[in-house]
């Protein structure tokens, strides 16, 4: 939320606590660029699927959503297009996001739509007013009765089990698919935060660009993601890794196979890692000295899928001199923290960036 901290939008919420506490149709959603997770109060995480929608261009109908749609990326016939409706943590395609949300909400409720569904959604720190409104409108069009937006870094910290309400500094780095949120939290508020529109997807793009430039080979985003997960790292590995990758030769125009090793992937990701390290240093330089002392003791916690990049925690530890740990369930921290808001209305009111009834 940058140095300005939290700000509240116009709230028309009045005495909702009794209703809010009793209804089990309430949902917490991590509306991610790569994956969308849905948490149902009393049940836990019920949806964890890719944020992809396959649309029939001729009829405008949805052909598939989530895992089935992701399988179609780069493989669809001319009349079907597989779309990622979110880009860099915000909505890029309003109508498709609405259809995707509607599908996931119905799936969470076993196809039965409650008339009183209240939804809490985590959003990136530096999201604009227009982008916030797009998220809320998409949720309303998916039949939500009330929508609350909460800061992604804050709920990730809550989901990771950090003592966010105590008068001590906690630092979190949440690396998602489209955005990386770095925040220092104390007394249930964000002291300083930075949101970078570069995360897991940008790693994939860097790998695709590297392979194209070095080998004249075009690979798809699914292949790039697999390379990142299997042999991506930030330090030389004890046991070097290689991977056979297939794509289309730019020179011959035919399918081609090359062997990629972990040092090449490190080279591809070096600029991304440098940008992240610079942002971390900026945050550390701008926080009060008392909180610096807390972070020196408590360290930094990594969440999000990007936290799983091999040796990233070690790289941050060596460059900052601070203890660094990875959350127990980094991929689910945002939705788990958002889910905790469903059980604590007072905390939700305190932390919500914006909340409006339909």
Tell me the per-residue pLDDT of 289-348, one tens digit each, with 9 for 90 and over.
989 999 999 999 999 999 999 999 999 999 999 999 999 999 999 999 999 988 888 888
- Give CATH 3.30.420.40 domain extents, the chain: 17-156+333-357, 162-326
Tell me, which fold does domain 162-326 have in CATH? Answer: Nucleotidyltransferase; domain 5 (3.30.420)
Looking at residue 358, what is its pLDDT?
Answer: 52
Predicted local distance difference test score (pLDDT) of residue 76: 74
> pLDDT category, 12, cuts 50, 70, 90?
very low
- Cα separation of the two ends of the chain: 25
Among 19-28, 95-104, 300-309, which range has the highest average pLDDT? 300-309
For 17-156+333-357, CATH gives: 3.30.420.40
Over residues 258-279, the mean pLDDT reads 96
pLDDT at 5 over 80: no
Distances (CA, A) of 175 to 31, 132, 156, 193, 268: 14, 20, 10, 13, 18
Tell me what percent of the residues of the chain surpass a pLDDT of 70: 90
Q: Which residues pair with 190 in a beta bridge?
A: 185
Higher pLDDT, 11 or 180: 180
| The pLDDT of residue 50 is above 80 | yes
Which residues does residue 184 pair with via DSSP β-bridges, in sequence order?
171, 192
Q: Give the pLDDT of residue 78.
A: 78
Please state, in angstroms and rounded to a whole number, the distance separating the CA atoms of residues 75 and 77.
7
Instruction: Give the model's pLDDT for residue 249.
Output: 94
């Amino acid at each position: 939320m940058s140095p300005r901290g939290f700000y509240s939008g116009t709230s028309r919420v009045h005495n909702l606590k009794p209703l809010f506490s009793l209804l089990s149709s309430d949902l917490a959603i991590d509306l991610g660029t790569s994956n969308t997770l849905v948490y149902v109060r009393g049940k836990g995480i019920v949806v964890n699927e890719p944020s992809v929608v396959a649309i029939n261009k001729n009829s405008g109908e949805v052909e598939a959503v989530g895992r089935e749609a992701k399988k179609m990326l780069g493989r669809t016939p001319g009349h079907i297009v597989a779309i990622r409706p979110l880009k860099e943590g915000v909505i890029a395609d309003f109508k498709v996001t609405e259809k995707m949300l509607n599908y996931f909400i119905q799936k969470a409720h076993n196809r039965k739509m409650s008339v009183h569904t209240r939804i809490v959604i985590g959003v990136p720190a530096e999201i604009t007013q227009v982008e916030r409104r797009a998220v809320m409108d998409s949720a309303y069009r998916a039949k939500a009765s009330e929508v609350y937006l909460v800061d992604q870094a804050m709920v990730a910290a809550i989901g990771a089990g950090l003592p966010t309400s105590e008068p001590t500094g906690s630092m979190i780095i949440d690396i998602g698919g489209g955005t990386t949120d770095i925040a220092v939290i104390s007394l249930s508020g964000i002291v300083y935060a930075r949101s970078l529109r570069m995360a897991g997807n940008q790693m994939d793009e860097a790998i695709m660009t590297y392979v194209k430039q070095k080998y004249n080979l075009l690979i798809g985003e699914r292949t790039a993601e697999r390379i990142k997960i299997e042999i991506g790292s930030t330090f030389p590995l004890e046991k070097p890794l290689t991977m056979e990758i297939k794509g289309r030769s730019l020179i011959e125009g035919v399918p081609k196979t090359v062997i990629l090793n972990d040092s090449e992937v490190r080279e591809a990701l070096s600029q991304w890692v440098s940008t992240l390290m610079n942002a971390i240093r900026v945050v550390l330089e701008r926080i009060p000295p008392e909180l610096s002392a807390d972070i020196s003791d408590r360290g930094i916690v990594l969440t999000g899928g990007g936290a799983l990049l091999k040796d990233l925690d070690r790289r941050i530890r060596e460059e900052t001199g601070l203890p660094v740990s990875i959350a127990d369930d980094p991929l689910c921290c945002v939705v788990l923290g958002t889910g905790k808001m469903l059980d604590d209305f007072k905390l939700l009111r305190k932390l919500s960036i914006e909340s409006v009834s339909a």
